[in-house]
Amino acid sequence: MNKLYMPLLAFLILVLLTSVSMISVVAQGDSIEATIHPTSGSANTNILIRFLTTNASIGNVEKADIFWDDVIIELNESGNQSADGSYNYYLGVPTEPPLSDLGNHTIRVDSIVLNYGQVSFNFTFEITEFVPSPEYVELNATYHALLVNYSDLVINYDSLLTNYSNLLADHTALLDEHSNLLSNYNSLSANYNSLLADYNALSANYNSMMINYNNLHSLYSLFLANYTNLQGSYDSLNSNYNILRTDYNSLESNYSGLTTNYDTLIGELGATRNFVYVLVASTILLAATTVFFALRKPKLTTKAR
């Protein structure tokens, strides 16, 4: 029983000694109190180191170099001043071994205190739980991701196994259908050969018709060119026709006027001709009368004698 209690008693004494580590540094008759809280923990533990001086004649640990197992953690780190004048430094537990190994580790704080000089404080911190390194955290995250993927793969495997069974049944049914389709294929192959012969004949006819089409297309192009020329000639003739039509209408209007004038002149000429005929007749009659009387007058004279 004593052998069992001795380690337990030693552990309790160690806990009591490290629960509050108080280091007193005498500087010109005054002391600086240094405390650490907590004195043990794991990777997620935040460590507070507090320095307090009660004498204004000396300074405080305003800036410090912090070491973990003689490995530099912080250099010339500024402390956070509290309302009571103390300076606080906050640390995290290192994640790289051997600094993160289980057990006790020494934290040393070196500083230069005003009106005193160089001081050094040693604290003990116990790591009670495994502190994972960044590589371990990354591997652990990868492991959990792979575990999730494995679970998904198992689910997918079960689903694929079920699908495989269904596909196997479908394969058997499809195999029967394949036999039927093969028979139909052979029949269709014979029909294909017959259709291929028909296709070759139609292809030959198509080639012949294509030659005729090309010839007709050439004629069409020629006729189209002639049509274009004829259309141009037609447009020119149509324009000339419109001009001639305008001239014809003008000439026809002039002809109508001339016809009217001609008819008027013909009427006047007829009246003049008749007048001339009457004048000529009168002149002839007058001349005949004159001649008649001229011839008759000597006879009368002769008779009178």
| CATH tag, 2-131 | 2.60.40.10
pLDDT over 90 at 47, yes or no: yes
pLDDT over 60 at 292, yes or no: yes
**Torsion angle, CA of 246/248/249/252, rounded to 10 degrees?**
160
Nearest CA to 127 among 43, 8, 22, 14?
43
Domain residue ranges of the chain, discontinuous segments joined by +:
2-131
* pTM metric for this prediction: 0.39
Taking CA atoms, 159 is separated from 148, 150, 174, 199, 212, in Å, by: 17, 14, 22, 50, 65
| Measured distance CA(27)–CA(117) in Å, rounded | 9
Question: 174-227, pLDDT tens digit by residue?
Answer: 999 999 999 999 999 999 999 999 999 999 999 999 999 999 999 999 999 999
Over residues 102-122, the mean pLDDT reads 92
What pLDDT was estimated at residue 137?
Answer: 73
The residue that leads in pLDDT, 136 or 3, is 136
Q: Which of 1-10, 172-181, 259-268, 269-278 has the lowest mean pLDDT?
A: 1-10
Over residues 139-165, the mean pLDDT reads 90
Mean pLDDT of the chain: 85
- The amino acid at residue 251 is L
